[in-house]
């Protein structure tokens, strides 16, 4: 396809969405059914891999999420639109892809580009629901006040509470760092009087659950559920959990669930063969912690020390089990209050996270390990209970799904499809491809930011195909095609071998390139 048309299509796509959203701010949807409106319990979880009991992982201890899955559908092939917090959450919560929201990094608020777009909780607020947000739904530092009737924060915690430490030595280290930053003029207080500082990448907390924010906000969410029960108005309650985001801090009792010596390490600790070197980069996030910044290898170097690998994986799993316990508390309260029968529960993790795979430690790639996500929809209106769907699905499908399940007409500008047919019959498929992208060059050390590159990827039942372009950051358009990748999941489920240069795949590559351009409206 002509390069000028490619550039033009990205701009036109954004303008079409901008026009579509201009009149949307207070529009109410047509009700398509007369029954009582279901409540919605929305559970975003940061950095959660689809490695849970209900996803077939026998090592990870997640009994409460597994129980939730027994009353719903597990989407085994769900994909985020970009493996970075803000773009991923923005896509799910607006029903639009990153090229349409123009959000590709952690700093951009979607309302800067689309001031009148109606976010998912705002849609329900506009249509008679009482919306309450706790924790991390939108990106933690980029809230959306007009989406909520109430947005709650637990007293005594920072505005951004992911880096909370409870052990004495770690607190001292954190406070010493804060003083140093204050003296250097590099620190500022948030609106609650805290300074955001991270030190160690993990902590085995000598504490109870509520010493960390996720436990404390679950206690607050339970109190709010009790109040919402007495209202005649249906509710949309979002309880966004921070763990297992770095630092991997969790109470000791969750660490004790695992035998570190029995935790397996990734068996593909190398970059994909014959892929461009830039496609796996240097895990900038983890390098911000004092125990990793000087010893964490780059993807093209020898793997990390095995003891350190096991420590970090152990910490990650402990955090998953800690969050699972909080979800159990929340679901138990929902049942005890008699709300479960008329509530849709949506649990999702915003993207994957490498634990040594491809010799990486973090997210931010176009590969399966980062783009494949957990998604479980359970409760009211789900007929195919206890089933696993292998249908290709995407985060942009969540918004139209909830509209459909609640009996509202689906806004026409949304770019996903309703998953209601799959919730009624888990054998149904609704699309033949899922799409993700990643803008490389806005993260990491200065040398990594010299050239921005956009990778677009399409995932079909069998293949993952990627096209990399140079990116014009002034015009926000792709320019020169510089690399391609092709992975065959029938023979290479870990995406270890890029086979794009194999001559026998020439026709297949053309087909997949056309399929990719359908998803990104090139």
Instruction: Give the separation between CA 487 and CA 268, rounded to whole angstroms.
Output: 15
Phi, psi dihedrals of residue 279, rounded to the nearest 5° = -70, -30
Those residues with Cβ within 8 angstroms of residue 412's Cβ, 6 or more apart along the chain or in another chain: 20
Residue 448: DSSP 8-state:
G
Q: Which residue has the tokens 């600790």?
A: 269
Both structure tokens of 247: 């630092």
- The one catalytic residue in 54, 80, 139, 314 is 139
- The one catalytic residue in 21, 54, 80, 85 is 85
Contact between 418 and 409 (Cβ < 8 Å): no
Q: Which residue has the tokens 């931010």?
A: 364
139 is catalytic: yes
Contact between 261 and 268 (Cβ < 8 Å): no
85 is catalytic: yes
| Count of CB atoms situated within 10 Å of the CB of 489 | 15
Annotate 396-432 with DSSP letters as a single string. Answer: GGHHHHHHHHTTBPPPTT--S---HHHHH-TT----S
**Per residue in 343-374, is it b (16+ CB within 10 Å) or e — as a string?**
bbbbbbbbbbbbbbbbbbbbbbbbbbbbbbbb
| Ramachandran area for residue 153 (φ above 0: left; ψ -120 to 50: alpha; else beta) | beta
**Which residues participate in catalysis according to the annotation?**
85, 139
């Amino acid at each position: 396809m002509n390069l000028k048309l490619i550039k033009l299509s990205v701009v036109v796509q954004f303008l079409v969405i901008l026009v579509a959203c201009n009149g949307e701010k207070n529009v109410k949807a047509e009700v398509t059914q007369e029954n009582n409106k279901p409540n919605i319990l929305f559970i975003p979880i940061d950095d959660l891999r689809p490695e849970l009991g209900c996803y077939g992982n026998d090592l990870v201890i997640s009994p409460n999420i597994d129980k939730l899955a027994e009353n719903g559908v597990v989407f085994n092939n769900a994909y985020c639109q970009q493996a970075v917090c803000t773009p991923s959450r923005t896509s799910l919560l607006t029903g639009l892809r990153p090229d349409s929201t123009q959000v590709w990094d952690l700093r951009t608020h979607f309302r800067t580009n689309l001031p009148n777009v109606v976010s998912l909780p705002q849609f329900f607020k506009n249509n008679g629901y009482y919306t309450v947000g706790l924790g991390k739904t939108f990106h933690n530092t980029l809230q959306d006040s007009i989406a909520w009737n109430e947005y709650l924060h637990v007293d005594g915690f920072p505005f951004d509470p992911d880096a909370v430490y409870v052990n004495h030595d770690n607190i001292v280290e954190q406070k010493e760092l804060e003083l140093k930053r204050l003296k250097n003029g590099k620190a500022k207080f948030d609106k609650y009087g805290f300074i955001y500082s991270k030190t160690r990448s993990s902590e085995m907390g000598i504490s109870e659950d509520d010493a960390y924010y996720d436990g404390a906000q679950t206690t607050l969410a339970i109190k709010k559920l009790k109040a919402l029960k007495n209202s005649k108005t249906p509710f949309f309650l979002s309880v966004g959990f921070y763990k297992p985001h770095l630092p991997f801090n969790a109470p000791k009792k969750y660490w004790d669930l695992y035998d570190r010596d029995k935790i397996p390490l990734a068996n593909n600790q190398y970059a994909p063969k014959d892929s461009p070197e830039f496609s796996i980069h240097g895990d900038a996030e983890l390098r911000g912690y004092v125990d990793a910044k000087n010893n964490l290898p780059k993807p093209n170097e020898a793997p990390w020390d095995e003891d350190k690998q096991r420590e970090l994986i152990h910490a990650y799993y402990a955090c998953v089990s800690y969050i699972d316990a909080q979800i159990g508390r929340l679901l138990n309260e929902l049942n005890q209050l008699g709300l479960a029968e008329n509530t849709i529960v949506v649990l999702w993790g915003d993207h994957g996270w490498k634990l040594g795979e491809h010799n990486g430690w973090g997210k931010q790639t176009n590969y399966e390990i980062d783009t494949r996500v957990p998604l479980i929809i359970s409760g009211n209106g789900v007929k195919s209970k206890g089933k696993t769907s292998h249908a290709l699905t995407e985060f942009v499908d969540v918004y139209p799904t909830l509209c459909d399940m609640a009996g509202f007409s689906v806004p026409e500008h949304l770019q996903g499809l309703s998953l209601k047919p799959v919730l009624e019959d888990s054998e149904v498929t609704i699309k033949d491809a899922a799409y993700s992208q990643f803008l490389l060059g806005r993260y990491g050390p200065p040398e990594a930011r010299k050239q921005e590159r956009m990778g677009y990827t399409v995932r079909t039942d069998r293949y993952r195909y990627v096209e990399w372009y140079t990116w014009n950051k002034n015009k926000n358009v792709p320019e020169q095609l510089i690399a391609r990748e092709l992975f065959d999941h029938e023979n290479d489920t870990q995406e270890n071998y890029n086979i794009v240069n194999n001559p026998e795949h020439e026709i297949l590559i053309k087909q997949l390139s056309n399929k990719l351009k359908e998803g990104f409206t090139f």
